[in-house]
């Protein structure tokens, strides 16, 4: 049997050289704050968070991260940021994801209407948005009027946000060695316990939401920085209402591509608890009755061809004083010793990368999928063990096996949700996205499992198409993203999906015949 000889084209290519071919797909992240800062020595600095993103890989590529301040911070790359600035403002051609860290209170230099409209336009175009504040109305100035964000968190006084000190406050502080309650507990090495929602639509059976899934051997984020007075995230009480974008009225919460309602989901909850204490920069705090509250909420706008959105209960989950203890003498935050991440902080950093990755527009993820495939084809075991017959000779079993090998290889480096997103993108090319969602979202576990065979075949067809084109090249330097692989990958995906669907139909017909015979036999008794 003829085997596609794809290995020689990749044999001399380094991963850096392969990545450089796809520089047009580089993820672009904007981090905006009003009165927090980007000073590494400052407790209320965002440098630990920003540096984590800068050192990460998103869909196989290091992102470009731009820092911006609306408060004149000299440490920001853009010290006086305006969302509508012609050179640096927010638009989908310049950025893919924006992180909003609001610290100004409601009514304190609220974001002007035209800039609110710009963020809404960015979301409608597929851009991802993250937003957070802190207790009471901190953050409302920047985020409280933005569509979708405005009802995914308690921003304004009218929404009765948690207080800073009374019994309405939400405290997640875990005491240190002295067992006493104090403000500085947020800067010790003890994180809070995070309670994950394993019933989210995005997580599916057996996995929590993508934002809190971790790479193997870790499984899920179940720790978080703690703080004595957090805010609270929400799921909107109603999915009605409309917004105006570029003069056009559109639903604020549109149905998904299958026509089903699409609501934000609670990703994780925290427990507010603890004794009161007398000292601290925000004054005395009252003792509390333990209670749950939503600390992370997410909206999967991709299912409606919009941008994804996530909110968090407080920016103390992201700033230096909680992570490395900066600004709190004698404390190292979630590092022990100073400068060395604890296991908890390693997990939290993975969550930061998950946020940026999950919020990325679909176009970025799809732009980089060939980069991921080439990477796997250049690694063990695929580089040494994968044997692919040409598409014209391949059986559905060959394609299903090849797709399974690819997905298993990807699973060694990606979280389960990233692999599932890869599958969805591949199936969407042959079935359309709405039908691909229906196929993969089967609520019956047995049916969903059998449908994975169709997904694996589609992935195998795409892989075979890519390998075929590689075999035709004399050097990896001839690769032109994405023209080199698009046609052959699409052909492979369509052929494989059709073969897999024909096999499934045959299986169903045989089962139907068997059930009819059994029913007839039963009627005779």
What percentage of the chain has pLDDT greater than the value 70? 98
Q: What is the mean pLDDT of residues 303-311?
A: 98
123-167: pLDDT as tens digits: 999 999 999 999 999 999 999 999 999 999 999 999 999 999 999
Q: What is the C-alpha to C-alpha distance for residues 130 and 211, in angstroms, rounded to an integer? A: 12
In 144-247, at which residue ranges do the beta strands (DSSP E only) sit? 192-193, 195-196, 223-224, 242-245
How many angstroms separate the CA atoms of 290 and 171, rounded?
Answer: 9
Confidence check: pLDDT of 299 > 90? yes
Whether residue 75 is predicted with pLDDT greater than 90 in this model: the reply is yes
Considering the chain, what percentage of its residues have pLDDT values greater than 90? 85
Single out the residue of 319, 293, 315, 253 nearest to residue 160, CA to CA. 293
- Which pLDDT score, from 0 to 100, does residue 438 have? 86
* Virtual torsion, Cα 475, 478, 481, 483, nearest 10 deg: -120
Residue 272 has pLDDT above 60, yes or no: yes
Q: Are 406 and 467 in contact (CB under 8 A)?
A: no
The torsion region of residue 78 among left (phi > 0), alpha (psi -120 to 50) and beta comes to: beta
Q: Categorize the per-residue pLDDT at 392 as very low, low, confident or very high, splitting at 50, 70 and 90.
A: very high
**Residue 444 confidence (pLDDT):** 53
Across 345-358, average pLDDT = 98
210-266 pLDDT, tens digit per residue, is 999 999 899 999 999 999 999 999 999 999 999 999 999 999 999 999 999 999 999
Beta carbons within 8 Å of 443's beta carbon, 6+ residues apart: none
Which pLDDT score is estimated for 452? 83
Using one digit for the tens of pLDDT, what is the confidence trace for 435-480? 998 888 765 545 555 678 999 999 999 999 999 999 999 999 999 8
Residue 419 has pLDDT above 60, yes or no: yes
* pLDDT value for 232: 98
Which pLDDT value is given to residue 442? 60
The whole-number average pLDDT for the span 334-353 is 97
Tell me the domain boundaries of the chain: 7-12+368-521, 25-360
Q: What local confidence, expressed as pLDDT, does residue 281 receive?
A: 86
For 506-522, what is the mean pLDDT? 89
Tell me the pLDDT tens digit for each residue of 109-123: 999 999 999 999 999
Rounded to two decimals, the pTM is 0.94
Q: What is the 3-state secondary structure (H, E, C) of 317-379?
A: HCCHHHHCCCCCCCCCCCECCCCCECHHHHHHHHHHHHHHHHHCCHHHHHHCHHHHHHHHHCC
User: What's the whole-number mean pLDDT along residues 5-25?
Assistant: 90
The per-residue pLDDT of the chain, averaged, comes to: 94
Pick from 253-257, 343-347, 485-489, 508-512: least confident: 508-512
Q: Is 415 helix (H, G, I), strand (E, B) or coil?
A: coil
Q: Please tell me which of 277-281, 312-316, 377-381 the model is most confident about, judged by mean pLDDT.
A: 312-316
Render pLDDT for 170-224 as a digit per residue (tens, 0 to 9).
999 999 888 888 999 999 999 999 999 999 988 876 789 999 999 989 999 999 9
Find where tokens 């893919």 sit: 96
pLDDT of residue 113: 97
């Amino acid at each position: 049997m003829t085997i596609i000889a794809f290995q020689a084209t990749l044999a001399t290519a380094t991963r850096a050289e392969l990545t450089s071919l796809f520089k047009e797909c580089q993820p672009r992240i904007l981090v905006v704050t009003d009165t927090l800062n980007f000073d590494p020595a400052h407790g209320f600095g965002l440098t630990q968070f920003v540096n984590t993103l800068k050192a990460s890989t998103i869909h196989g590529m290091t992102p470009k991260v731009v820092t911006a301040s609306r408060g004149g911070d000299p440490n920001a790359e853009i010290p006086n940021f305006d969302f509508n600035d012609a050179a640096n403002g927010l638009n989908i051609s310049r950025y893919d994801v924006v992180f909003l860290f609001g610290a100004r209170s409601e009514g304190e230099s609220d974001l002007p209407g035209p800039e609110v409209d710009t963020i809404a336009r960015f979301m409608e175009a597929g851009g991802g948005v993250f937003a957070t504040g802190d207790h009471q109305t901190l953050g409302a100035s920047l985020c409280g009027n933005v569509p979708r964000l405005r009802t995914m968190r308690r921003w304004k006084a009218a929404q009765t946000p948690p207080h800073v000190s009374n019994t309405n406050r939400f405290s997640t502080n875990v005491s240190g060695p002295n067992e006493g309650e104090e403000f500085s507990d947020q800067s010790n090495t003890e994180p809070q316990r995070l309670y994950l929602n394993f019933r989210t639509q995005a997580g599916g059976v057996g996995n929590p939401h993508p934002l809190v899934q971790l790479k193997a051997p870790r499984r899920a984020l179940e720790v978080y920085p703690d703080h004595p007075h957090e805010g609270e995230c929400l799921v909107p009480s109603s999915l009605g209402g409309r917004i105006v974008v570029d003069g056009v009225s559109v639903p604020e919460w549109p149905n998904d591509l299958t026509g089903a309602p699409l609501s934000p989901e609670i990703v994780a909850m925290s427990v507010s608890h603890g004794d009161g204490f007398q000292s601290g920069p925000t004054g005395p705090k009252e003792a509390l009755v333990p209670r749950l509250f939503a600390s992370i909420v997410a909206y999967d706008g991709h299912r409606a061809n919009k941008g994804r959105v996530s909110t968090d209960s407080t920016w103390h989950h992201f700033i230096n004083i909680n992570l490395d203890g900066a600004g709190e003498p004698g404390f190292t935050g979630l590092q022990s010793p100073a400068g060395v991440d604890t296991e908890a902080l390693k997990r939290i950093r993975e969550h930061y990368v998950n946020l940026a990755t999950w919020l990325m527009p679909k176009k970025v993820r799809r732009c980089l999928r060939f980069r991921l495939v080439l990477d796997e084809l250049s690694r063990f075991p695929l580089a040494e063990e994968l044997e692919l017959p040409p598409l014209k000779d391949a059986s559905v079993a060959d394609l299903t096996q090849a797709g399974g090998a690819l997905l298993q290889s990807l699973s060694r480096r990606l979280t389960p949700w990233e692999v599932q997103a890869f599958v969805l993108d591949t199936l969407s090319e042959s079935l359309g996205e709405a039908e691909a969602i229906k196929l993969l979202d089967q609520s019956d576990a047995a049916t969903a499992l059998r449908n994975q065979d169709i997904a694996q075949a589609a992935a195998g067809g795409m892989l075979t198409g890519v390998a075929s084109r590689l075999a035709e090249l004399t050097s990896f330097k001839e690769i032109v993203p994405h023209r080199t692989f698009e046609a052959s990958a699409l052909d492979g995906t369509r052929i494989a999906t059709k073969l897999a669907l024909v096999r499934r139909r045959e299986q169903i017909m045989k089962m139907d015949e068997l059930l009819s015979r059994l029913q007839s036999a039963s009627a005779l008794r």
